[in-house]
């Protein structure tokens, strides 16, 4: 119950924030809340999946914090909607792509799903995507639309192509 409450709290903080530090805090609460759910079975594969998830999410959260600090350095704004520096926007796109598991940064996602239970995999595939997608939506006016479109098309194409080779439900 406490992990589900933490997931709801982290998602709510990220979705409702307009300051980068609060959005980052919500993303970190989500990451720390889902780790025990992934490694709940105490199977070596689950522990490996939790470790991979933690490393990828920590790297992506670091990039989110770095892009927001770079933007604040250049513009003096910590507001999420004021992401105007081009380098910060590119780093933020990479960070949110890592969190979402989009094409250039997608290799961790099937392995984490393989090591987690079906309900945890469902949670990772749906509810854990809302906060990064919300951040993408809030910063969409300053992100590169051709890069986002390319990543979306490649993710859909590669996901469908790799899905043909799958034999398991997860």
Question: What digits encode the pLDDT tens for the residues 95-152?
Answer: 999 999 998 898 899 899 999 999 999 999 999 999 999 999 999 999 999 999 999 9
pLDDT at 160: 86
> What is the residue whose two structure tokens read 């780093």?
91
Q: Could you tell me the two tokens for 161?
A: 């192509």
Global confidence as pTM = 0.90
Report the pLDDT averaged over residues 31-38.
Answer: 94
pLDDT at 170: 62
For the chain, what is the mean pLDDT? 92
Task: Please enumerate in sequence order all residues whose Cβ is within 8 A of that of 148, keeping only pairs 6 or more positions apart, or say none.
Answer: 93, 136, 140
How far is the C-alpha of 126 from the C-alpha of 98, rounded, in Å? Answer: 15
pLDDT at 104: 87
Report the pLDDT averaged over residues 37-59.
Answer: 93
pLDDT at 8: 93
User: In terms of pLDDT, which residue wins out, 42 or 13?
Assistant: 13
Report the pLDDT averaged over residues 63-87.
Answer: 93
Give the closest residue to 53 by CA, choosing from 137, 103, 152, 125. Answer: 125
Band (pLDDT 50/70/90 cuts) for residue 165 is: confident
CA distance to 45, 97, 118, per residue, from 38 (Å): 10, 21, 10
pLDDT(164) > 90: no
Report the pLDDT averaged over residues 58-74.
Answer: 95
């Amino acid at each position: 119950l406490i992990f589900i409450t933490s997931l709801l709290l982290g998602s709510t903080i990220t979705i409702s924030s307009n300051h980068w530090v609060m959005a980052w805090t919500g993303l970190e609460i989500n990451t720390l809340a889902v780790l025990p759910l992934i490694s709940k079975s105490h199977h070596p594969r689950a522990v490996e999946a939790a470790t991979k998830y933690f490393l990828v999410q920590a790297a992506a959260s670091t990039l989110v914090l770095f892009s927001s600090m770079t933007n604040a350095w250049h513009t003096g704004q910590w507001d999420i909607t004021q992401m105007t520096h081009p380098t910060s926007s590119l780093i933020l796109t990479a960070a949110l792509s890592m969190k979402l598991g989009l094409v250039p940064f997608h290799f961790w996602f099937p392995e984490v799903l393989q090591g987690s239970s079906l309900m945890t995999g469902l949670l990772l595939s749906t509810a854990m995507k809302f906060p990064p997608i919300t951040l993408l939506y809030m910063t969409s006016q300053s992100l590169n639309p051709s890069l986002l479109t390319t990543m979306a098309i490649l993710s859909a194409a590669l996901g469908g192509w790799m899905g043909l080779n799958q034999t398991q439900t997860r």
